A = this chain, B = another copy of it.
Amino acid sequence: MKLITAVIKPFKLDDAKEAVVAAGAKGITVSEVRGFGRQGGHTETYRGAEYRIDFIPKVKLELLVDDEAVDTVVSALASAVSTGKIGDGKIWVTSVDQVVRIRTGERGPDAL
């Protein structure tokens, strides 16, 4: 099993959800994050003092998927959230040793 993590632009969350569900994902865990990267941040000014804000709001998605589903889900996700503009974000995939569904105690792919 694999864990797909994606950091995307916040307003793309709905599109992302629809795309991964269509691609067969059964669940998603989402967190509010802030990202620093090529996109650069912005400047805020309070009483004339400028503050550089390097971290901009992003949303992080975590999806546990079957090994064979990884490519489909990653592609579906990537194309759903891409705007072609800098700051679209990253997707990365890591290996998962074990998954447990708490409610039932099921383990492995059945637990997804």
Contacts and interface: CB of A to CB of B under 8 A. Distances in A.
A84 B103 contact: yes
A86 B102 contact: no
Interface string A83-107: 1111111111111111111110100
A53 B105 CA distance: 27
A60 B102 contact: no
A100 B86 contact: no
Interface string A10-54: 000000010000000011111111111110000000000000001
Nearest to A61: B36
Contacts of A8: 102
B33 A37 contact: no
Interface size class of A (residues with CB under 8 A): 35 or more
Contacts of A103: 82-89
8 contacts: A28-B36, A29-B58, A74-B98, A82-B105, A88-B102, A90-B111, A94-B96, A94-B97
Given A74-B100, A90-B111, 8 more contacts: A3-B94, A17-B54, A29-B58, A31-B31, A64-B92, A85-B103, A90-B101, A94-B95
